[in-house]
Amino acid sequence: MATAQGTQPRVKGQQHWLAPYFVIWYGVPYMAYDLYAMYLSHYYRFQVKGHEDYKRHSLSTVNSFVRKEFLLVLHHIVIVVCFYPFFRKDQGDFFVGCLFLTELSTPFVSMGKILIQLSLQDCRLHKANGGMVLLTFFACRIALFPYMYWMYGRHYGIPLYGVPFHLSLAANLGNSCILAPQVYWFVLLCRKGFRLYQRSRCRGDAPAPARAAATAAAVTDNTKGE
């Protein structure tokens, strides 16, 4: 937020000291760690299920992870390439600052998973957290892109609808590659939230034994989904 605000007067050429330092010393290591953590989660999940190929780490297990989580892997690689100062020629710190905001939804997503693991998916905190997940995910991962286009257009005196034609094809394709998985994941989040809402209504109308069974089923389903 500080980077985006500090570079707002000149959205393209203005530089902010925090952008390169944050990317090099935090962003790149974090993305590498996150990919490694996701691979380990994938590996041990399949190992627990008894898959023969997952008795030890191998190129086969890595390849399976990449194929199964291709969008996530691509997302991490594209983010690093777009953010790294060398590839963007030390320009666009404002947009880098805006894209930092995409991680604002991550704490709420993690909190939702923690509450499910603690069997607290029926509490008010879980419902409020679910609302925050949808709100922050939409605002910081989807609506953020029209906002950046609007800011670019305002800087150059171009209407919003004319900004894509003013940018290079590579810039538009890069934004599309980042935005596309965000839209896909947001749709998945909405579907999951709708399913949980339906289950909560069914449990509320059902007798006590049926509610207990439905709760157990929901926990099992969410554990499998993770």
For the chain, 226 residues long, the average pLDDT of each consecutive 10-residue run is: 46 62 76 90 87 86 90 79 62 76 87 88 86 93 91 88 89 85 90 80 58 45 44
Q: Residue 89's pLDDT is what?
A: 61
- Evaluate whether 129 touches 108 at the Cβ level (below 8 Å): yes
Q: Residue 186's pLDDT is what?
A: 92
Q: Residue 139's pLDDT is what?
A: 93
Q: Residue 154's pLDDT is what?
A: 86
Q: Residue 183's pLDDT is what?
A: 92
Domain boundary assignment for the chain:
2-225
Q: Residue 212's pLDDT is what?
A: 46
